[in-house]
A and B are shown apart, each in its own frame.
Chain A
């Protein structure tokens, strides 16, 4: 029996519902499920468990379309992280998660605790974290607030990751005005399983002790999950107490102690306390196990005195976990945690009844059927527009013929900040390299320890994907040479998604797989982070639905099932005039792949003068009218002509498959000296980046009569990769090519030039006419200075 007052008159119901992000209809449903009125603590439990963050109440029907199984998938969606089989007895846990709202309000701690949270998801499964990546989005750096947010976020990620001793090996950063005031901070972690059994979260064994380990429980982070499920406004700054404070030192000990504990075999189930803290972990463990949990708050290690049951239940204090353990093992387990300076206490037991019962000072403070909290959670039904919104349709009517003439000398934009200024193609390329989204991210990644654990094979910026050697840190194999690796990439072409969510999301998957293929890795599986504005508007829901459709289709064709991820909605800021600024819909795709032989890992920079250049994917000649490639929605169009418009190219998934397969075969055969995918800025930017990475120049020959020059240089799309080969390997390469049938009439690869023998300049030529020639140093200056110049004085 619930003894604390269930009487709703003891608190203001409308206020409490607003605070918990619940509707009146939710309240009626809660009453129906309980058969009575909930008390305040119980209402708080429903508030977090029924938030988008915890139960996907808007996106769940859409997520059901994802392919989630495959021969290598050991754990799919629903657990703390996905797990894939790498063969040879090795298994990889991985997941991505957002910390957008906390980072908007308190960038340093918001980002730091985002890293801490995703690491816990990994080691809760019994895996030691071996790598971190992150995908970040900010508003333009011309606005000082965005500079402050970026500095804080990067410093926060660095603080946590560097201290906890997990290398941050890769990631991406992009900028758009839609992210002003609502930055995106998505952190991805990879871990190598160290336990025989994957540790799952469902409670087992009636009467078994429930143990609490890690840090103490305080008042920090109250209601973070509900907070993360609402839009941001100036008043959000008052929500700072909803942002938690992280302690990476404590987490370091927690990783070691948890992995030790799991290896003992005495931990039967584990759940980290992330969003909604004790409430969420108890409810999920109970619901997944089909059993109940009794939790005595008096035994929970508290950081401060006088906390109410409500505060205990909803605290999001960091670095905490809940275990179900084997009876009799409690003392040994607790001693091991104390050795690492951590809290450990038995705080409850597993019940036969499927309830979460919370005791406080000897009375029942809350008692809710676990299934009422965690099963059949409410779904917000939305109607899907039958055709694209009018504004999108208007964008799709844009055509390249609307642009000014592209002459051999260059172009004079008719729109944007450069309107009326004649630009050479060299001017255009330098401008693109200076675009913060394209430019070198060295300012960011040099703040991350990317080498700790001594397995980082490719430094950030050295290749299209991060590569980490699969040498365990602990136990058998830690001191043995290892020849295999895991590759990872995070990608999202958000401008494309904004202009066509289905095509953009498919392109995100294709690009992630292409990036992995460029280093020679076989793509295995996906974790996705859906960062979207409110789904409550017709356009918002259409974006979410179409992006899920594109993502599902691409994952299916490329054989990369989705093993889980995160949904972050209501990413929008309220402008002073009261209107809402939604972000670009940003479905970030985190993908992992297997490197079978580290000897063949391929970087993006040229390797030797005189090497031959080949373009994989759609050839330049004959592509003039093809919608799979173009200037629509391109970086060139936005950066040079001030236009974010057009319909982004259609991703040809069968061409992607064929190109990536050929590339991986060529790399495995040792034929490919360098490989770099064509992304923002197209061919010219890809070639420039390969020059900058190597210090070597290149000469690229463009075919004649192949359409607009700017399209040849800067078009995006077309499943394209620029590779270089030693001249003596060219014949073997052509033989391989001959045995790889393309899905269409065009060949899968065409020769387009060579690495310069002596000149340290990048040149583009057509019919003997030089269109562009720039010294590599000049390219490097634009590329490397873009971020430091804007982030100014401090570094």
Chain B
């Protein structure tokens, strides 16, 4: 079991994902520089938080052209587990692996604080170790985390059980309290909260551990 962690020049949570998975939970990781194409030997890929290429245009808008992401898209299409955290979620929507877009928080400010969430795992393989409607707490840290999509798209995702994480007290104005989404096949998960910041009792809770542990299951 090895997790690939994509590194863009502006990624800043790449090492934190490695610490959570490998340092705290013993799951080996390998960094994937954005110009690489070799995903061989990887069992899952994480797109970590940060600002990929500076994100002056639109979060994730330039990152989607990275060579590594062509491979990640191919990996996902074959059912490989892909996790996009924060900026990684933004990249997944830009790539079209998940619908919708993430825009400036409703009150414009960047927000960093613990957030209460409800988990609805459905068919999402990353969340298989959580119970239906389980309440957990994960930190958020973003300025552009307001999820937006067409009402019909949201309706369809609600129906198919793709809205797998919801805010209890919506901090950013996301439609449908959406904090995380998965694709119809359940192998691609994008979420704004940071599960890797909740795997170490010294620095936060442990509510994020089961997300990475699901890969071992």
Contacts and interface: CB of A to CB of B under 8 A. Distances in A.
A452 B16 contact: yes
Contacts of B196: 454
A479 B19 contact: yes
Contact of B23 (A445, A446, A451, A480): A480
Given A480-B23, A795-B107, A451 B15 contact: no
Contact of B20 (A155, A450, A452, A454): A454
B18 A158 contact: no
A472 to B, nearest CB: 10
Interface in B65-120: 107-113
Contact of B13 (A249, A341, A452): A452
B197 A451 contact: yes
B139 interface: yes
Interface in B1-47: 9-10, 12-13, 15-16, 18-20, 22-23
A479 B18 contact: yes
Contacts of A450: 112
Interface string A71-104: 0000000000000000000000000000000000
Contacts of B107: 794-795
A315 interface: no
A536 interface: no
Contact of A451 (B109, B139, B143): B139
Contacts of B109: 155, 158, 446-447, 794-795
Contacts of A447: 109-112
Interface in A424-469: 445-457, 469
A164 B50 CA distance: 8
Interface in B169-217: 194, 196-197, 200, 202-204
B205 to A, nearest CB: 12
Nearest to B139: A451
A163 B51 contact: yes
Given A447-B111, A456-B203, A479-B22, A249 B9 contact: yes
Given A155-B109, A158-B110, A452 B12 contact: yes
Nearest to A252: B10
Contacts of B200: 454
B141 interface: yes
Question: Which bucket holds chain A's interface residue count?
Answer: 35 or more
Contacts of A252: 9-10, 12, 51
B15 A453 contact: yes
Contact of A249 (B16, B19, B53, B108): B53
Contact of A479 (B10, B23, B112, B204): B23
B54 interface: yes
B206 to A, nearest CB: 13
A162 B10 contact: no
A250 B10 CA distance: 8
A249 B53 CA distance: 7
Interface string A476-494: 0011110000000000000
Nearest to A598: B202
A396 interface: no
A162 B197 contact: no
Nearest to A481: B23
A94 B132 CA distance: 47
A341 B9 contact: yes
Nearest to B51: A163
A118 B132 CA distance: 47
Contacts of B51: 163, 248-249, 252
A546 B133 CA distance: 63
B142 to A, nearest CB: 9
A247 B51 CA distance: 12
A451 B112 contact: yes
Contacts of A250: 54
Nearest to B20: A454
B157 to A, nearest CB: 29
A306 B23 CA distance: 52
A766 interface: no
Nearest to A468: B203
A148 to B, nearest CB: 14
A450 B194 CA distance: 13
B33 to A, nearest CB: 9
Nearest to A599: B202
A450 B112 CA distance: 7
Contacts of B194: 451
B19 A454 contact: yes
A250 B56 CA distance: 12
Contacts of B49: 452
Interface in A669-709: none
A451 B204 contact: yes
A165 interface: yes
A359 to B, nearest CB: 33
A340 interface: yes
> Which 8 pairs across A and B sit closest by C-beta, in order of nearness?
A165-B12, A249-B54, A479-B23, A454-B16, A449-B141, A795-B107, A447-B110, A163-B51
Interface of A: 155, 158-159, 162-165, 247-250, 252-253, 340-341, 445-457, 469, 471, 473-474, 478-481, 598, 794-795
Interface of B: 9-10, 12-13, 15-16, 18-20, 22-23, 49-51, 53-56, 107-113, 139, 141, 143, 194, 196-197, 200, 202-204
14 contacts: A155-B109, A249-B51, A249-B56, A253-B10, A340-B9, A447-B112, A448-B110, A451-B194, A454-B200, A454-B203, A457-B203, A469-B202, A474-B15, A478-B15
Given A163-B51, A253-B10, A454-B203, 16 more contacts: A162-B110, A163-B12, A249-B56, A250-B54, A252-B51, A340-B9, A448-B112, A451-B197, A452-B16, A454-B19, A456-B203, A479-B18, A479-B19, A479-B23, A480-B23, A794-B107
